[in-house]
Structure 1
Amino acid sequence: MGNNFYLTNAARFVLLVLAQVLVFNNLNFFGSINPMVYVLFLYWYPIKENRAYFLIMSFLLGLFIDLFSDTLALNAAATVTIAYLRPTIMRFCFGVNYEFQSFKLSNTTNVQQITFLALLILIHHIIFFSLEIFSLSNLLLILKKILTTGLATFIVCLLFRTLFSVRKN
């Protein structure tokens, strides 16, 4: 892990926190839908890097979003959970290819990448909104928020992914 690794991840971290806090938390599509683009940090984080460092960075990412959004520790809990489950999700999306030392996200198909992103968002939103509402009597409200915010997050993340991804030749 060189300085470039830390610099790139620090820049992603800061830019995604700023984008979430300054832009996306202030957008209210249809009155209550706020895309959660900071999930892209978990999508873009290098595959075979230090897992403990990744979990700590994920916790800090969620904590900073929580501090600026006044959401207690909901983002931190959801972010750490998907960071912990990320290897399992990757195994599901990429199969045995994930196990190889030379595996890179950019070398996979678009369908696999989109499935991976969709699962990260779905699991994050299930945890976030279940903890936010925390009542089975409001199950329909939880499902509505998961689907609407999840769809908005997915669309915005796909746009960001397209804008900032490295092109294959």
Structure 2
Amino acid sequence: MIRNSYFINVIRFVLLILVQVLIFNKLNFFGYINPMVYILFLYWYPIKKKRPAFLLSSFLLGFMVDLFSDTLALHAAATVTIAYLRPTIMRFCFGVNYEFQSFKLTNTTSAQQFTFLALLITIHHLVFFTVEIFSFANTLLILKKTMFFSLATLILCLLLSSLFSVKKE
């Protein structure tokens, strides 16, 4: 069971990087919006795994996307930030329930899952564009880009996660 979980995470890691770099970095919705669907790795990552391994894999995920996208560690900074904040975001979305051994993301309501994914995406994009633009004079531009990119990413992530989710009976 442990090896199966490890194998699934490695496959997700590699496939999300490939899909991001080969497909979604080439898309330009409305001329400038490129969805960042690799964030799904941080959404799907098992909750009870060791935190240092999660932070390291988040850094590697962002770093690999940075290598192929030529974005100077912007993705790595954003992914490590949301990986670090993930327990706080989970506590906000799911309450203290997520700290129990039997907690699974699939056992929560759709509204909680949507809120969790939307917060991960929004915080990621806010950090990403704040570091990219790095100017208080352009705060409205940061917020505009965060809003539009987050909306596009959220829609595509919901489509991908519904496509690859296990159906409850």
Q: Normalising to structure 2: TM-score of the pair? A: 0.98
Q: Which runs of 5+ in 2 are unaligned?
A: none
| 1:116-165 deviations in Å (ceiling 9; x for gaps) | 00000010000000000001111111111001111000000000111011
Shift of 1:68: 0.2
| 1:46-100 deviations in Å (ceiling 9; x for gaps) | 0111111111000000000000000001000000010011001000000021121
Aligned twin of 1:83: 83
Distance in 2 (alpha carbons) for counterparts of 1:80 and 1:166: 27
Match of 1:35, as an amino acid? Answer: P
1:64-79 mapped onto 2 (5 Å cutoff)? 64-79=64-79
Distance in 2 (alpha carbons) for counterparts of 1:66 and 1:84: 19
Aligned twin of 2:112: 112
Match of 2:126, as an amino acid? Answer: I
Match of 1:42, as an amino acid? Answer: L
Moved beyond 2 Å, runs of 4+: none
Aligned twin of 1:44: 44
Aligned twin of 1:141: 141
Distance in 1 (alpha carbons) for counterparts of 2:2 and 2:98: 23
Match of 1:140, as an amino acid? Answer: L
Distance in 2 (alpha carbons) for counterparts of 1:100 and 1:6: 21
Aligned twin of 1:59: 59
Question: Is the aligned partner of 1:32 residue 2:26?
Answer: no
Shift of 1:5: 1.5
Aligned twin of 1:97: 97
Question: Is the aligned partner of 1:128 residue 2:114?
Answer: no
- The percent identity for this pair of structures is 72
Aligned residues: 169
Shift of 1:168: 1.0
Match of 1:114, as an amino acid? Answer: F
Q: How large is the Cα RMSD of the aligned pairs?
A: 0.8
Match of 2:141, as an amino acid? Answer: L
Q: Which runs of 5+ in 1 are unaligned?
A: none
Shift of 1:2: 1.9
Distance in 1 (alpha carbons) for counterparts of 2:96 and 2:69: 39
Distance in 1 (alpha carbons) for counterparts of 2:99 and 2:23: 37
Q: Normalising to structure 1: TM-score of the pair? A: 0.98
Match of 1:91, as an amino acid? Answer: R
Aligned twin of 1:12: 12
